[in-house]
């Protein structure tokens, strides 16, 4: 696979999805790590400060994972988006024209109330790209 998008939130399931994606990625491929946080308009936020803290936490998580992976022949791009996780994963996958979306099957996101299983289920149902759900 040349281009793989991994929905990543720091859960054990997303760690397993990342490991599987790395195994499947071509030597000179592109790996995209996507963290999705709730929108500031979502009821999960009381104020802008809380939103900024969550966004910074997501950015730090993605950067830490990229640093942990270290140097490889493939490229790694991290990104943080806001909104509905399933919708954002599908939208980003389409924009990047990835070959595969890889998600964890269970766990609870560090970025809110989203359950990974429900996100994976929605992505499998509605994505136009192949989806791999890792257990």
* Ordered domains of the chain (ranges, CATH): 3-134 (3.40.50.620)
**pLDDT above 90 as % of the chain:** 69
Residue 113 has pLDDT above 80, yes or no: no
- Ranking 10-14, 60-64, 129-133 by mean pLDDT, the lowest is 10-14
Q: Is 17 within 8 Å of 103 (Cβ atoms)?
A: yes
Average pLDDT value for residue range 120-125 = 92
- pLDDT at res. 38: 85
Q: Is 1 within 8 Å of 25 (Cβ atoms)?
A: yes
Residue 13 has pLDDT above 50, yes or no: yes
- pLDDT at res. 43: 66
Residues 6+ apart with CB under 8 A from 11: 104, 106, 107, 108, 109, 110, 116
- pLDDT at res. 49: 85
Q: Is 77 within 8 Å of 32 (Cβ atoms)?
A: yes
**For the CA atoms of the chain, what is the radius of gyration?**
14
Which pairing describes strands 30-37 and 75-82: parallel, antiparallel, or unpaired? Answer: parallel
Q: Is 118 within 8 Å of 84 (Cβ atoms)?
A: no
- pLDDT at res. 23: 96
Distance between CA 60 and CA 35 in Å, rounded? 11
Residue 125 has pLDDT above 90, yes or no: yes
Residue scoring higher pLDDT (83 or 108): 83
- Ranking 29-43, 55-69, 87-101, 120-134 by mean pLDDT, the lowest is 29-43
Residue scoring higher pLDDT (62 or 48): 62
Q: Is 2 within 8 Å of 99 (Cβ atoms)?
A: yes
Q: Is 36 within 8 Å of 62 (Cβ atoms)?
A: no
Residue 64 has pLDDT above 60, yes or no: yes
């Amino acid at each position: 696979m040349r281009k793989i998008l991994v929905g990543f939130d720091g859960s054990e399931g997303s760690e397993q999805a990342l490991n599987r994606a790395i195994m499947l990625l071509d030597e000179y491929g592109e790996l995209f790590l996507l963290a999705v946080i709730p929108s500031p308009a979502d009821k999960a936020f009381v104020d802008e400060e809380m939103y900024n803290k969550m966004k910074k936490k997501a950015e730090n998580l993605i950067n830490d994972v990229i640093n942990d992976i270290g140097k490889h022949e493939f490229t790694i791009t991290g990104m943080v988006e806001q909104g509905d996780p399933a919708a954002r994963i599908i939208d980003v996958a389409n924009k990047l024209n990835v070959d595969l979306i890889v998600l964890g099957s269970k766990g609870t996101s560090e970025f809110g109330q989203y359950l990974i299983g429900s996100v994976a289920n929605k992505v499998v149902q509605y994505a136009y790209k192949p989806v791999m759900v890792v257990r």
